[in-house]
């Protein structure tokens, strides 16, 4: 929804915290399925550069949920 500038100026600002769940396919080398699962989960949770994961591609966004909404006066 696009608003004209005068309409946007009349609206209050809000900050919304979203919880987004995504599914990814990843490819990595491991000695067993259990090790592959553990390595993949650890690397995604770590959020840094991947060591074990050699390839990844998004599958789909599974869910999106607004978990918090609060006024954000900096946008007003």
Convert the pLDDT of each residue in 41-70 to its tens digit. 998 888 767 788 888 888 899 999 999 999
Domain ranges, ordered by start, for the chain = 22-75
- pLDDT surpassing 90 at residue 18: yes
Instruction: Band the pLDDT of 74: cuts 50, 70, 90.
Output: confident
Q: What is the mean pLDDT of the chain?
A: 86
Burial class (CB in 10 A: 0-12, 13-18, 19+), 40: buried
Q: What is the pLDDT of residue 19?
A: 94
Q: How far apart are the two ends of the chain, measured CA to CA in Å? A: 18
- pLDDT surpassing 90 at residue 71: yes
38 vs 5 pLDDT, higher one:
38
In angstroms, the CA 54 to CA 52 distance is 6
In angstroms, the CA 1 to CA 75 distance is 17
């Amino acid at each position: 929804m696009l608003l004209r500038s005068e309409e946007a100026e009349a609206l209050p600002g809000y900050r919304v915290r979203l919880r987004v769940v995504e599914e990814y396919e990843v490819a990595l080398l491991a000695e067993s399925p259990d090790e592959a699962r553990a390595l993949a989960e650890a690397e995604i949770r770590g959020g840094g550069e991947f060591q074990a994961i050699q390839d990844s591609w998004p599958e789909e966004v599974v869910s999106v949920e607004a978990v918090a909404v609060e006024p954000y006066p900096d946008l007003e």
